[in-house]
Structure 1
Amino acid sequence: MNQNQKLISVRNLKKYFPLKVSWLKIFKERPYVRAVDDLSFEIKYGETLGLVGESGSGKTTVGRTLVRLENPTGGQILFEDVDLAKLFGESLRTKRKDFQMIFQDPMASLNPYMRIGNAIEHPLKIHKMGNKAERKIRVYEILEKVGLPPEEFYNRFPRHLSGGQRQRVVIARAMVTNPKFVVADEVTAMLDVSIRSQILKLLIDMKNEFGLTYLFITHDLASAKYICDKIAVIYLGKIIEIAKTYDIFKEPLHPYTKILIASVPVPDPKMKKKKFIPSGEIPSPINIPLGCRFHPRCPYAMEICAKVEPELKEINGRTVACHLYD
């Protein structure tokens, strides 16, 4: 497949969560948490797109909505030109083997009473892939790929494994159906620093061997720099900058991106970075500010920023939403 072709095309994606209200307020407009608010981006075949931002920015909701663990409120999710937002029931189940998700907490995403081999085999059963003997062979193969000798781990329970080993099991379970697209949601967040690089290398090796396409969700820019081809920066449910990883780190354009880059620890204490300290707290996704949603905290805010929301525009081959570049 031509790597210049789009595998995923997200257009004006929205995911709103309604809040519970008292029956006394039932005739008033119901408030919503606008977790994902009119978001658009593309991922090409074989590409790893990093989705970075602070906690609460909507990163995980984007990932869960793409793989239809959440139903979108609006917009399109074009996967090989098929709109996943319009699939339900059997048609969605049939398509689901082509896209998988690796969750942040491996212990929470594994059944504590299911042996490792059975947990990895489970997606094959759901999608009716092979007979019992063929499925076991496939499970053995994928365990070897993720660095867990099957003779030792096939019959173990999750509680018998370390955090890094459990994450390898979750990766194996996501890969066992030979998906084309994988959402990796904070896959190293709950691991020791010594294990993180091993898991990242494993994801890269799996991508190269199987021709995978990733959406890599993280708040850790150091991990994103290591694994991602491009990075999309999200703030309050909206993408504000997209660029190649090298360009993002060399010259971030959006003020919020500059803050994120400046927060990355520097190994040499003699190296000083220019600090951009945002003022105030992150606004609530229930009451998103008018205009640019970052303007209340932005050191470069202008009068127009409080009135008009900037659109994503191309600047020298990059994409940014900021009035500084109008």
Structure 2
Amino acid sequence: MIEIRNLKKHFPVKRTIGEVLLRIPQRYVKAVDGISFNIFKGETFGLVGESGSGKTTTGRLILRLIEPTDGQILFEGEDITKFSKEKLRKFRKNIQIIFQDPLAALNPYMKVGEAIKHGLEIHNIGNTRLERKKMVYEMLERVNLSPAEQFYNRYPHELSGGQRQRIVIARALILNPKFIVADEAIAMLDVSVRSQLLKLLIDLKKEFNLTFLFITHDLATTKYICNRIGVMYLGKIVEIGNFKDIYENSLHPYTKALISAVPEPDPKKKKEKLIPRGEVPNPINPPPGCRFHPRCPFVMDICKKEEPKLKKVNERLVACHLYK
């Protein structure tokens, strides 16, 4: 369904003193720097990595909420980076997003029922106001906010965090999209509420035949919802594989470090800890060669000079010089 080809997003850096722009060479934050991957119809593709790795930027690029610096984004064979504003507006009902912070994603002055219905009005779905209201009621019931009449006329501040996130999910699903980006969709919620919403997302995926890009920094969550996982580090994808291979036999040293950081519930089981050295390098001036080499315990001379390419190793893709 989705094919990403050499996608890049470089944000220009501006420095000012007062109102005077310093005359320095233009520099860029290389948030996403030449990534390629596919998302197949009906699957949930997890994109994981620590803060600043470029996960959220990738999701917003796919939705064209921000414009790419370079590369292609193919949706069912069509390059959406070349869509006009009018064609993109009509196309948006096929591709929706669930934001991380539901309070920031909802208009505080708009009742949640009207917020959900707003998408129907934009895309001219439903013949009458009453019909659209009925559709909103049905969707509220589907995300377990019932009775729907009690929630329709409430404002976001009158709801709990879990209820607000259900409203954001309902707003995304009301247009019957084909593809959804879930950007840290359960990260800001309590653990008990997270499990409920995770189960809801899994059920809705089956019911509506959805395809998901599930963005998260929590590898433990991906185990329950994702078919395949892509691991990002400093604007690059370093490994792609199915969740079982990633968990049981990860190849890239950075993926191994992420897996070792997942808490082990059984105290009798001892897990080898792999802690990267130092801090994440500056994305304005990333290190040459492999971007993980300053922190990697297995670094070789070639890692400092030559950037590894994604290559197939044991039924997955990995970008590491350890695997010839």
Q: TM-score range by the shorter chain?
A: over 0.9
**Counterpart-to-counterpart distance in 1, 2:303 and 2:134:** 58
2:6 alignment partner AA: N
CA displacement, residues 58-107 of structure 1 (integer Å, 9 cap, x when unaligned): 11000111101110111000001111111131111010110000000000
2:195 alignment partner AA: S
How do 1:49-60 and structure 2 match up within 5 A?
Answer: 49-60=45-56
What secondary structure does 2:322 align onto? Answer: helix
**Counterpart-to-counterpart distance in 1, 2:88 and 2:131:** 25
1:317 alignment partner AA: E
Give the ranges of 4+ consecutive aligned residues of structure 1 lying more than 2 Å apart after TM superposition: 21-26
**Counterpart-to-counterpart distance in 1, 2:289 and 2:36:** 18
Q: Against the structure 1 CA distance between its residues 214 and 24, is the aligned structure 2 distance closer, same or farther, given a 3 Å change threshold?
A: closer
TM-fit CA distance, 1:21: 3.8
How do 1:55-66 and structure 2 match up within 5 A?
Answer: 55-66=51-62
How do 1:8-19 and structure 2 match up within 5 A?
Answer: 8-19=2-13
What secondary structure does 2:132 align onto? Answer: helix
CA displacement, residues 147-180 of structure 1 (integer Å, 9 cap, x when unaligned): 0111221111111111000000000001110000
**Counterpart-to-counterpart distance in 2, 1:124 and 1:295:** 49
**Counterpart-to-counterpart distance in 2, 1:164 and 1:320:** 37
Q: Give the equivalent residue in structure 1 for 2:65.
A: 69
Q: Say whether the 8 Å CA contact 1:21–1:30 is kept in structure 2.
A: no
CA displacement, residues 15-54 of structure 1 (integer Å, 9 cap, x when unaligned): 110011456754x531000000001100010010000000
CA displacement, residues 262-317 of structure 1 (integer Å, 9 cap, x when unaligned): 00011112211111111111001101100000000000000000000000000121
Q: Give the equivalent residue in structure 2 for 1:106.
A: 102
Q: Give the equivalent residue in structure 2 for 1:229.
A: 227
How do 1:144-163 and structure 2 match up within 5 A?
Answer: 144-149=141-146, 150-163=148-161
Q: Give the equivalent residue in structure 2 for 1:265.
A: 263
**Counterpart-to-counterpart distance in 1, 2:84 and 2:131:** 29
**Counterpart-to-counterpart distance in 2, 1:154 and 1:142:** 11
**Counterpart-to-counterpart distance in 2, 1:84 and 1:133:** 34
Q: Say whether the 8 Å CA contact 1:295–1:305 is kept in structure 2.
A: yes
**Counterpart-to-counterpart distance in 2, 1:167 and 1:161:** 10
Q: Give the equivalent residue in structure 2 for 1:129.
A: 125
**Counterpart-to-counterpart distance in 2, 1:43 and 1:163:** 30
2:4 alignment partner AA: V
Return 123-132 or 308-317, whichever deviates more: 123-132
Q: Give the equivalent residue in structure 1 for 2:27.
A: 31
CA displacement, residues 124-168 of structure 1 (integer Å, 9 cap, x when unaligned): 111111231221121111111100111221111111111000000
Unaligned runs of 5+ in 1: 1-6
What secondary structure does 1:283 align onto? Answer: coil
TM-score (norm. length: structure 2): 0.97
Q: Say whether the 8 Å CA contact 1:259–1:276 is kept in structure 2.
A: yes
What secondary structure does 1:101 align onto? Answer: strand
How many residue pairs get aligned? The number is: 319
What secondary structure does 2:254 align onto? Answer: helix
What secondary structure does 1:183 align onto? Answer: strand
**Counterpart-to-counterpart distance in 1, 2:230 and 2:312:** 14
User: Aligned-residue CA RMSD in angstroms?
Assistant: 1.1
What secondary structure does 1:324 align onto? Answer: coil
Q: Give the equivalent residue in structure 2 for 1:302.
A: 300
**Counterpart-to-counterpart distance in 2, 1:168 and 1:24:** 44
TM-score (norm. length: structure 1): 0.96
